[in-house]
Structure 1
Amino acid sequence: MRYSHLFLLLVFLVGLVPQTANSQSTTVESQGVAAIVQGNRDISRDKAIEDALRNAVEQATGTLIENDTLVENYQLLSDKIYSQSRGYVQTYEVLDEKVDQGLYKVTIQATVASGDLKNDLRALNVLMRQVRKPRVMVLFEESMSEGVKSGRLAEDAISKVLLDNGFKLVDADTVRRNLGQDKVQGLLAGDGRVAAVISDKYGAEMLLLGTAQAVTNQVTIGDIKINSNQAVISAKLVRADTGEVKVSETRQAAKPHVNSLSGIQMAISEASELLANDMIDKIIQIFHEEVYNIANVNLTIFGLQGYGHLQEVIQLISDNVRGIKEIYQRNYTMGTAELEVELTGSTQSLAADLTTRKFGNYKFNIKESTHNQLQVYITPTNR
């Protein structure tokens, strides 16, 4: 009787799971619009999608609370909820987009949730779209017990997990052939110059580098011989362009088996999958910070023709540079302005946009660039 009660309770609890999951999200359609300035459709599209995401979150919020409460707390919701719209969107799909009389208009279907994105793998695909599908190269050196042939067990297992979760991979075998064994060993030892080559030549943004070690010890239990197989997988996640180590992790697993090769394969596979899934969480966190965190860049502009010219230039930057949130004027003296720029990006991305995009009759030239400071000259394009 007791067991039947436990069984019924289990069935009841299992039945609750999908209902709970469904109640945590809602799917809505929303529209967004942005003006096209200086013919920059890509920036206008970004802003239109941001507007649509905000409207989706606002619409979903309206289904959860009374309209009077919504109106009464609009400013609070605007500051705390709508301003972080992307953080509440698990997935979205652009259903329609068009240009109409100087406006870029989009219609999206979005799944809105209140969970933390970095702990929700369902949001991984949309997150990675925002950071342009990061390319990862997985490269491991494997060491096995005597009598067991080394292979690419860990490398293959980790690569499969990453591919299953939407990552693009750079082929490690191609890199091995082209670089040679000495440079591969240098890369595994932390040579940032080799990492930079892989970034430039093969387009890898992240390198997952490490070692896989497996040992087997035979024990006898009665008349049965059992192999105790243990695997230890150690890896570091490296930013390819800078050589910076972002994360370092180790995972291990043990699998008893009568066949040592089968046991080692199972142990390496389990440890590799544990490490890969943990690394995915770390990559999500890193890219989440890259996408959502606001960078503050101190921008100094030389060569301005007056205070009115400064106001014109500030507007040009706001309209033509991706990710601009706010521009604060800190100082202006004799043709030189000191500004503080808030943007989703970095000093490097701001410098790239200033030097490659069109700004009416003006162009920017970089004088100096550091981690959070950028100095530029502005000159007429006909000069």
Structure 2
Amino acid sequence: MFSRKWALSAAMTYSAMLIAVICGGTTVWAAEDQAKDDVVKVQAEGEGLDQDQAIRAALRAALEKGGKQEIFSDTKVENYQLIHDTIISRAQGLVKNYKIVKGPDRVIGGTVKVWIEADVSKSVLAQSWGEVQNLLNQIGRPKILVWINERIDGRLEEGSALESQIEERLLKSGFDLVARKAVEAIRQKEMDDAAAEDNMPKLQAIAKDFEAHFFIAGTANANQAGVEEKYNVPISFYNCDVQVKGFYTDTGKLIASKSIPNTRGGARGYKEFSPQAGKMAIVNVSQPLVDALYEQMMEQWATAISAGGELILEVEGFNFAAANRLKRALDEIKKVEHVNMNFSKGLATYRINAKLGADELAELLCEDDFEKMLEIVDLKLNRIQAKGK
């Protein structure tokens, strides 16, 4: 009798173990299948001035392909284009595994082309989409002030063709712009002088007044270089040079810089002096610059909202002791790498190097001991303003 009970008990124990093993194995297999379903293997190609640019272009194309069916399919989502372009700009950080399967090859026009095979994680894309969408819900769409001084044969033009090109590219991606017409006449003169003198602090102050998150400033010049016939068509040629820079308004940090040295461009015309031909010459030679400037700014914007960078925290109403206590507390935050503090007449300004965005830092400052020390009154892309308690 004892042996039968023991045998029955042993059989039941064995059965339970077998079920546990099977179920456990099913869990492991399910997890493995889920992981496999998450990763999409895609092939993509990219072209650029060198191998590095070509690889970056290929990674962006791979990310686009990998998320096309599920992540990027709902085009009716608010701020879709801005979210989409932001995520694509983070391709180097989001595509963790890739290999070059062909190239680099030099192609027609002197550019370099590569072909890659990459692993794209749909869950990583979905998480990134949520992060960007959440940030835009908090701070709204970034606003940009664009101001280009354009001179044709030394004469300052009222409207800039290059400025319009840049604005058109930014609007296409969903950024808000400060319209030139919205800047009153007296400020227009200040902006013209500041741009001509490369006076970035002055431009920064004006951009702050218009609550712009970024500002882009530069110069474009076109000087006549004679008329020539090409295929029996008269062309007015102009020598063009362009210099454009982009900055964070709050910190004044340079985030993009592109230039075109003296380059010959032309447009149809019969006269050497032809302002319209001069403008068209600038447009014709500037398209690669506009694309490259946009790419640089998008990469910086995408990095700032994901991996962080320099943040500014301004707190009014502190004495020095309170300001110093807050500095020590900020230094203790896990993702904060370094904090510099300036203190003057009750205003404490902290420059914080951190691997988190302003929105995430603001959330932390509303918790625990921080909540007892200060109250947040304004939140921007890279700046938090608060008052001491």
TM-score scaled to structure 1, two decimals?
A: 0.47
TM-score scaled to structure 2, two decimals?
A: 0.47
Larger Rg: 2
